[in-house]
Amino acid sequence: MTADANRPGPVYGIDFGTWSSALVVLRRGHPPLPVRDPVSPYGTTSVRTAVCLLPDRSMVVGQAAQNSRLRHPERFRSGFKQEFGQPSPHLLGDRRFSTAQLTTEVLGFLVRQARRAVATAPTRVVITVPATWESSRRELMKSAARAAGLAPETIEVYSEPVAAAVYALHDHGLGRERTLLVYDLGGGTFDLAIARGTTEGFTVLGSPGGLPDSGGIAIDQAVLALIRDRCPQAVDDLRRAATGTDDASVLRRATLLHEACTAFKHQLSVSSEHSDLLTMLDPPVEITLTQADLRDAVRPLLSDTVAECERVLSAHGLGWGDLDLIVPVGGSSRLPMVGEHLVRHSRRPVLDVSEPELAVATGAAWLAGGTAPARVTTSPASPPPAPRARPLPPRIAALLDAGLTDRMVIEAVRRART
């Protein structure tokens, strides 16, 4: 990358995520400015990666889509980043959309909010993508960004862990040579990169690694399995009722159960335990889960991420002891068991990132603005391709197949209407 300190106008860093997306505006002389969803609760600095096609055929994005989800479940879609580049369309109501088109809707929303905050058009835009994405999906992301109204000549694509490494090195400084591992646990994927930096810049060692099916969605699935352990009949009854039906009340109950799983995850990131009365089940059941419960449930997922870190380290002739710092980013890294797991297995310092959801977008903005460490290069050696994540345990897979996720709820409506 060639830095241009005299580049006029604002620049954008965009992190398009599975669960949420963020856009950070960077202007000379100002701190990074994350755009906000005007419908979200005060203080939210990211936007839900969700869309909903309303009956009047208008499209709403972010929290507005989330708010419309219970009323129009068959018109709602989220989590579609995991299918980016695949040809199968998404049916929202009676209209079909490609994943790229839904991505354009989210990017367009982010850009509109950014232009409301800073009216001047960006002179450069860096969009981040998972480290495991090949060139065809990167080019498709550029096309989606152009369709969202961004000028083609301004758009560049970097991998998410590279942008996170820029964030870590920019905000925490380098007085000597240091080697760090960026551990990016997002909504749908896990990515990592190893970087070696000095005051002159930094080098990403080979190709970043990652797992395509590990992240917040998989953690939600683990919470769902914990709930089913406590009330199997009620969960199974709802599962059966939600399969192949267009009954709006049943679909709303299934959606509310999914949202309860996410709420448990979020609350257990800050509390030792959390209780909730699950009124969507019949009969209603009060459930209490603890951090220890969740720690046990997600241990296989975290072990997979650590094994992937060790694979990439070994490919470069390195071990945990060669690292000066581990930088956890991505919203799912807020869970305390993530940092605990990393410390236990690596015995290395783990950085406490205050806003892990914004780390990638902020690093992308530093890259776009030419204020990242002066040199960003990639060493020629690359580790072998990343393996697929471990298959889901049968009890979780059975729940997913039964219709208790966004995708399955929508498919149930589709089957019932055809």
| The pair of three-digit structure tokens given for residue 142, joined into one six-digit string | 């550029």
**Selected residue with higher pLDDT from 210 and 123:** 123
CA distances (Å), 383 to each of 66, 193, 327, 386, in order? Answer: 39, 11, 20, 8
**Selected residue with higher pLDDT from 150 and 19:** 150
Mean pLDDT over 36-56 rounds to: 87
- Decide: 201 and 370 in contact? Cβ < 8 Å: no
DSSP 270-310: T-SEEEEEETTSSS-EEEEEEHHHHHHHHHHHHHHHHHHHH
Mean pLDDT over 327-354 rounds to: 91
Can you say whether the dihedral through the CA atoms of 189, 169, 157, 152 is positive or negative? positive
- Decide: 293 and 267 in contact? Cβ < 8 Å: no
**Selected residue with higher pLDDT from 318 and 3:** 318
| The pair of three-digit structure tokens given for residue 243, joined into one six-digit string | 């399969």
Neighbours of 178 (CB within 10 A): 18
- Decide: 72 and 55 in contact? Cβ < 8 Å: yes
Q: Which domains does the chain have, with CATH numbers?
A: 11-158 (3.30.420.40)
Mean pLDDT over 95-102 rounds to: 95
Q: Can you give the pLDDT at residue 414? A: 38
The band of 200, judged by pLDDT with boundaries at 50, 70 and 90, is low
Q: Can you give the pLDDT at residue 178? A: 82
Query: Is it the case that residue 266 has pLDDT exceeding 50?
Result: yes
Dump pLDDT digits (tens) for 280-321.
Answer: 999 999 999 999 999 999 999 999 999 999 999 998 899 999
- Give the three-state DSSP class for 32: coil
The band of 70, judged by pLDDT with boundaries at 50, 70 and 90, is confident
Bridge-based pairing of strands 95-97 and 90-92 is: antiparallel
Q: Can you give the pLDDT at residue 322? A: 93
Query: Is it the case that residue 358 has pLDDT exceeding 70?
Result: yes
Q: Which of 161-165, 264-268, 334-338 has the lowest mean pLDDT?
A: 161-165
The band of 195, judged by pLDDT with boundaries at 50, 70 and 90, is confident
Burial 134-148 (b: 16+ CB within 10 A, else e): eeebbebbbebbeeb
Q: Give the CA radius of gyration of the chain.
A: 21
As a whole number, the mean pLDDT across the chain is 84
Q: Can you give the pLDDT at residue 53? A: 96
Q: How many residues does the chain have?
A: 418
**Selected residue with higher pLDDT from 247 and 400:** 247
Dump pLDDT digits (tens) for 406-417.
Answer: 344 334 333 433
What is the distance between the alpha carbons of residues 308 and 272, in angstroms, rounded to a whole number? 28
Query: Is it the case that residue 169 has pLDDT exceeding 60?
Result: yes
Q: Which of 338, 339, 359 is nearest to 350 (CA)?
A: 339
Query: Is it the case that residue 27 has pLDDT exceeding 90?
Result: yes
Q: Can you give the pLDDT at residue 404? A: 42
**Selected residue with higher pLDDT from 214 and 142:** 142
Long-range Cβ contacts of 268-277 (<8 Å, 24+ apart): 268/294, 268/335, 269/334, 269/335, 269/336
Mean pLDDT over 211-240 rounds to: 91
Bridge-based pairing of strands 209-211 and 273-278 is: unpaired
Q: Which of 170, 189, 188, 190 is nearest to 180 (CA)?
A: 170
Neighbours of 36 (CB within 10 A): 20
Mean pLDDT over 81-88 rounds to: 89
Q: Can you give the pLDDT at residue 376? A: 54
What is the distance between the alpha carbons of residues 217 and 243, in angstroms, rounded to a whole number? 20
pTM of the predicted protein model: 0.80
| The pair of three-digit structure tokens given for residue 406, joined into one six-digit string | 């966004």
Q: Which residues contact 95 (CB under 8 A, 6 or more apart)?
A: 53, 57
Mean pLDDT over 101-105 rounds to: 97
Query: Is it the case that residue 71 has pLDDT exceeding 90?
Result: no
The band of 377, judged by pLDDT with boundaries at 50, 70 and 90, is low
